[in-house]
């Protein structure tokens, strides 16, 4: 990452990096995953990025009322209903740390 904010991040052990990455905003996580300095750690963050993308897709189906797509996702992965994320509905309202169950 550029800047002083993550200056020593690459020097941390992989397990600590993984735990820190769980709390990063999505934009920081994508930047960290795609940066050249942490290329060797991209596989470390790939599960978090994939989890974020799947959760976001599920929440978009919920707020847009796309029941068929939602049913298909939950048929394959029923625990997704409890994953939390950030989503904006069709009216422009923003929901932070919400799950599809809510």
Would you say residue 54 lies in a domain?
yes
pLDDT digits (tens, 9 = 90+) for 13-55: 877 877 777 777 766 766 665 554 455 555 666 666 677 778 8
Q: Residue 2 domain-assigned?
A: no
pLDDT for the residue numbered 49 = 64
Residue 9 CA: distances (Å) to CA of 32, 40, 52, 81: 10, 13, 21, 32
Residue 52 inside a domain? The answer is yes
- Give the domain extent around 29: 9-99
pTM for the structure as a whole: 0.53
- Helix (H) / strand (E) containing 47: helix 42-64
Per-residue confidence band for 65, with pLDDT thresholds at 50, 70 and 90: confident
41 falls within a domain: yes
Across 61-90, average pLDDT:
82
- Alpha-carbon distance of 84 to 82, in angstroms, equals 6
Identify whether 3 is part of a domain. no
What is the model's pLDDT at position 2? 46
The answer to the question of residue 1 being in a domain is: no
Q: How many domains does the chain have?
A: 1
> Does the residue 4 lie in any domain?
no
């Amino acid at each position: 990452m550029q800047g002083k904010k993550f200056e020593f991040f690459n020097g941390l052990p992989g397990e600590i990096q993984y735990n820190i990455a769980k709390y990063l905003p999505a934009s920081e996580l994508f930047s960290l995953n795609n940066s050249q300095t942490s290329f060797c750690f991209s596989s470390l963050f790939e599960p978090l990025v994939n989890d974020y993308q799947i959760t976001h897709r599920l929440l978009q189906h919920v707020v847009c009322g796309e029941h068929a797509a939602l049913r298909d996702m939950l048929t394959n992965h029923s625990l997704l209903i409890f994953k939390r994320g950030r989503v904006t509905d069709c009216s422009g309202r923003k929901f932070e740390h919400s799950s599809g169950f809510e």
